[in-house]
Amino acid sequence: MTGFREILANRSALACLANGLLGSIWLAAAVFAPSFYANVFALSPASRGMVSTLTLAFVVGGTLIGGFLVNPIGRKRLMVISAFTAILASVLSYVVMIFVPNLWLGIGMRSIGAFLGGFVFVASPNLVVEQVPRYRGTMMSLGQGLGGIGRAVGVFVGGAALSFFGNSTIGYSATMGILGVLGLTGTLSLVLFAKDPCKNQLQTTP
């Protein structure tokens, strides 16, 4: 309980947890990608599986490279920049299809978002666990719990929006736009309230 109280009294830690919740709502967008390719481009299940595998490969690549960038760039800065650009690129991969319905263009933009999203998967946990060093385990538990809730909420919100707008290119674009705004709200909370506890330590390390 002492750990919970200390975390809840830390504004920077709360901002990180809020970002974990809202960012996970955006992560739920991946659930709707296969149905998008099926409804809009009539891809077969095997082709949709290949697209998902390609996207995952870019995420893994981004994660590996992001590990080398956390300390030089900083946890918060890397998190904010990569989250913003990843969400923007991913949302555009749907919106652009309204005007230029080209499958490979959409996959390419989504792959860029996935690659940058790999940076987020590295920077976010690093930033979270360093907020309250005495209670890293409690902080991670809260982060993981809120992340699970966020993904569940994202699936519900995305499904409701898609049912309202319809299974068209415009419907998917609107749905991803809603999820993207929620995700960017979490990133904004980091910009306004979060601090990188390791920043000063790295500057003073000889």
* Rounded CA separation 94/3 (Å): 42
Residue 149 has what pLDDT? 95
pLDDT tens sequence across 127-164? 998 888 888 888 888 999 999 999 999 999 999 999 99
Domain boundaries along the sequence of the chain: 2-194
pLDDT tens sequence across 31-61? 999 999 999 999 999 999 999 999 999 999 9
**CA 150, 151, 153 angle in degrees (round to 5)?**
65
Superfamily in which the 2-194 domain is placed by CATH: MFS general substrate transporter like domains (1.20.1250.20)
Question: Which residues are CB-contacts of 23 (< 8 A; sequence separation ≥ 6)?
Answer: 83, 120, 124, 147, 150, 183, 186, 187
Provide the whole-model pTM: 0.89
pLDDT tens sequence across 87-120? 999 999 999 999 999 999 999 999 999 999 999 9
